[in-house]
């Protein structure tokens, strides 16, 4: 009998499925049958060729049989070892090409201290203030850290269930840290602008004594005896961790094992993903700032949906030790805040090598909040701005053009800029797919991927299984093309410091995540339905200061980041 969907008769189909199971696809029964039948055959190879886009002769298949069976023995040996998610591969990605020269001069860190700030009669009025304001109130002892901490904890308890943005409150730890901050500040031991400021962590960061669930049912009770480097560095800066916030399960989307995180501007919408909780909680005034992660849009997307000011730093700028691994060559950690300068304050506290993440490196971050735009060479992604927008894009594209007008009015001379257009950028996405499938290999082989909420074609279970069919050769070829893309984009940056782009315009998001370039996202306007839109500023490698400076100038001129979702005011 022939299966019309696949063109395989039942015998061929069984042979094909047996081969897939030997590769790790399918259930225990198929795996056992493969072992019972003894070996891979020429017929199995012939059936599998179509999956990989290959075609061999019968003589070539005959030669392959012995080696493939030898490979299966190797696969079985590898699977006898439990490899924790925290163990990286021995191959390390570096976005810095040999010809690049990175900055070495480190200048004194300067930031804006607002004048004339005073304590309001109702402390909750501070819930939406940026860190620059909160820190000045704490530094001048007008507001105690314990007061801010209790206020944010109360808001998390009241509004967290509505937004479905909180996994674990770290109340005991937070109050202990806040009391310590108050005691130190009283003695004149002020650590800096994050001292005493409450913040929230995406729940893929380990915090000793608390669960780290990765937003996924199979890990709901997981407790890892470690602190992520960013947690330790924020502890050192005196910041107060008040909550572990939601993420889409295993860093995909906004659906987690407890529900769907909501957009504070429209509760009918999810907050997008996967830094869903950090974006939602920050914009709703439940934390002073938050830390999220991005592999392919997981900071940029929820920041856009919720209206946060956010930074995805250069790959290697911030240590990922203690963070769930999804893609070792693409994962990045960064802040989601209520202002651009807040992002600079947080990056200053968390960046640099730690001796634990082999990709993290020490490169100076010299933030200058007063730099003139005329001192920077600013490009704009001309071909995307010139595209005829779809009906769904009309509102956001109008806001994009207004952003360019704002920058010109501020004295910026905008230079036409284009991304490399002769490379198969979309095809390189298999790098993420292959690495994610590897990161959760044990979940797939154990069958516990069935416990994840999303089970459709785009869900992780299907993606992880599909990833096992990506040939190692093609994964390496994609990474070789990635090197070419890195060089091509670097050459385009020769004439500019920063470029402005519609947030979802062209291949910007995928390409810059592959090359490791930093991106700042800020609100660019609001649709008729009241939901935010964003514009993106992309910097050179380790050029966050310039990208943040342009974004800050735009933000200061528009004030769009000061709007608040009415339901949570």
Q: Express each pLDDT in 13-61 by its tens digit.
A: 444 444 444 444 444 443 444 455 558 899 999 998 998 899 999 999 9
Q: Which is nearest to 514 in space by CA: 440, 425, 436, 423?
A: 425
**Residue 410: inside a domain:** yes
Structure tokens at 371: 């730099």
CA distance 483 to 514: 9
**Residue 12: inside a domain:** no
> How crowded is the C-beta side of 259, counted as CA atoms within 13 Å?
18
**Residue 558: inside a domain:** yes
**Residue 256: inside a domain:** yes
Number of H helices, E strands in the chain: 19, 17
Other C-beta atoms closer than 10 Å to the C-beta of 370 total 8
**Residue 268: inside a domain:** yes
Tally of structural domains, the chain: 1
CATH number assigned to the domain comprising residue 544: 3.90.1300.10
CB 540 within 8 A of CB 517: yes
Residues in the chain with pLDDT < 70? 1-38
Burial bucket for residue 72 (CB in 10 Å: 0-12, 13-18, 19+): middle
- pLDDT at position 37 is 54
Domain holding 505, by residue range, is: 129-366+375-422+478-568
- pLDDT at position 38 is 56
- pLDDT at position 39 is 83
CA distance 145 to 549: 29
**Residue 515: inside a domain:** yes
Q: Which is nearest to 250 in space by CA: 284, 282, 293, 281?
A: 293
Q: Rg of the Cα trace of the chain?
A: 25
Question: Which phi and psi (to 5°) does residue 369 adopt?
Answer: -70, -10
- pLDDT at position 35 is 52
Of the candidates 274, 280, 290, 298, the residue annotated as catalytic is: 298
**Residue 49: inside a domain:** no
CA distance 200 to 155: 13
CB 213 within 8 A of CB 452: no
- pLDDT at position 270 is 98
CA 322 to chain centre: 15
Q: Which is nearest to 348 in space by CA: 181, 550, 113, 107?
A: 107
Place of tokens 């957009």: 263
Structure tokens at 361: 């490196």
**Residue 185: inside a domain:** yes
> How crowded is the C-beta side of 177, counted as CA atoms within 13 Å?
26
Q: Which residues contact residue 51 at a Cβ distance below 8 angstroms, ignoring those fewer than 6 apart? A: 469
Taking only the tens place, the pLDDT of each residue in 349-388 is 999 999 999 999 999 999 999 999 999 999 999 999 999 9
CA distance 383 to 418: 7
Task: Please state, in angstroms and as integers, the Cα–Cα distance from residue 89 to each residue in 50, 78, 85, following that order.
Answer: 29, 14, 10
- Pairing relationship of beta strands 414-417 and 378-381 according to DSSP bridges: parallel
CA distance 517 to 499: 11
CA distance 254 to 271: 6
Does the annotation mark 298 as catalytic?
yes
Q: What length does the chain have? A: 569
CA distance 1 to 11: 9
Other C-beta atoms closer than 10 Å to the C-beta of 555 total 23
Of the candidates 21, 135, 271, 396, the residue annotated as catalytic is: 271
Of the candidates 202, 244, 332, 540, the residue annotated as catalytic is: 202
CA distance 535 to 537: 7
The strand ranges marked E within 83-219 are 166-169, 198-202
CB 272 within 8 A of CB 305: yes
CA distance 155 to 149: 10
Task: Please state, in angstroms and as integers, the Cα–Cα distance from residue 509 to each residue in 19, 288, 419, 462, 531, following that order.
Answer: 37, 27, 11, 23, 21
Would you say the pTM of this structure is higher than 0.95?
no
- pLDDT at position 9 is 45
- pLDDT at position 391 is 87
Structure tokens at 398: 């109008």
Would you call 52 helix, strand, or coil by DSSP? Answer: helix
CA distance 43 to 35: 16
């Amino acid at each position: 009998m022939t299966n019309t969907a696949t063109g395989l008769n039942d015998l061929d189909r069984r042979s094909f499925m047996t081969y897939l199971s030997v590769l790790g696809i399918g259930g225990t029964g198929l795996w056992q049958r493969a072992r019972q039948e003894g070996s891979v055959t020429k017929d199995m190879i012939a059936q599998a060729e179509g999956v990989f886009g290959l075609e061999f002769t019968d003589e070539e298949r005959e030669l392959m049989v012995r080696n493939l069976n030898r490979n299966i023995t190797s696969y079985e040996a590898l699977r006898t070892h439990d490899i924790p998610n925290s163990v990286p591969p021995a191959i390390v990605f570096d976005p810095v090409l040999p010809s690049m020269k990175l900055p070495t001069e480190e200048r004194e860190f300067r930031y804006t201290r607002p004048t004339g700030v005073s304590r309001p009669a109702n402390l909750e009025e501070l819930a939406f203030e940026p860190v620059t304001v909160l820190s000045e109130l704490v530094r001048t002892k007008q507001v105690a850290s314990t007061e801010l901490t209790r206020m944010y904890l109360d808001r998390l308890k009241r509004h967290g269930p509505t937004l479905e943005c909180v996994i674990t409150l770290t109340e005991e730890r937070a109050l202990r840290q806040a009391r310590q901050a108050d005691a130190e500040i009283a003695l004149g031991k002020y650590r800096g602008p994050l001292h005493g400021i409450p913040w929230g962590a995406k729940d893929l960061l380990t915090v000793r004594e608390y669960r780290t669930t990765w937003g996924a049912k199979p890990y709901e009770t997981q407790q890892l005896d470690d602190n992520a480097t960013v947690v330790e560095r924020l502890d050192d800066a005196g910041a107060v961790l008040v909550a572990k916030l939601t993420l889409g399960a295993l860093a995909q989307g906004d659906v987690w094992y407890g529900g769907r995180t909501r957009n504070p501007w429209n509760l009918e919408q999810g907050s997008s993903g996967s830094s869903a909780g950090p974006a939602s909680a920050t914009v709703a005034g439940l934390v002073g700032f938050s830390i999220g992660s991005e592999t392919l849009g997981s900071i940029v997307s929820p920041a856009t949906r919720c209206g946060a000011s956010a930074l995805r730093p250069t790959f290697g700028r911030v240590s990922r030790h203690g963070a769930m691994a999804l893609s070792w060559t693409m994962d990045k950690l960064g802040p989601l805040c209520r202002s651009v300068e807040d992002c600079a304050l947080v990056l200053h506290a968390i960046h640099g090598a730690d001796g634990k993440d082999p990709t993290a490196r020490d490169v100076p971050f010299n933030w200058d909040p007063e730099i003139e735009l005329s001192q920077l060479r600013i490009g704009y992604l001309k071909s995307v701005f010139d595209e005829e927008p779809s009906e769904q894009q009309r509102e956001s594209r109008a806001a994009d053009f207004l952003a360019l007008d704002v920058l010109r009015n501020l004295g910026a001379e905008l230079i036409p800029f284009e991304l490399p257009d002769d490379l198969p950028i979309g095809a390189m996405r298999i790098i993420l797919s292959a690495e994610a499938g590897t990161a959760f290999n044990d979940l797939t082989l154990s069958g516990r991927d069935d416990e994840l909420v999303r089970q459709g074609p785009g869900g992780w279970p299907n993606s992880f299984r599909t990833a096992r069919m990506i040939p190692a050769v093609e994964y390496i070829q994609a990474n070789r093309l990635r090197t070419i893309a890195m060089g091509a984009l670097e050459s385009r940056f020769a004439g500019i410091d920063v470029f402005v782009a519609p947030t979802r315009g062209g291949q910007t998001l995928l390409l810059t995540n592959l090359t490791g370039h930093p991106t700042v996202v800020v609100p660019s306007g609001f649709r008729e339905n009241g939901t935010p839109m964003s514009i993106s500023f992309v910097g050179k490698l380790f050029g966050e200061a310039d990208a943040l400076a342009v974004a800050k100038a735009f933000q200061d001129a528009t004030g769009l980041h000061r709007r608040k979702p009415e339901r949570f005011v």
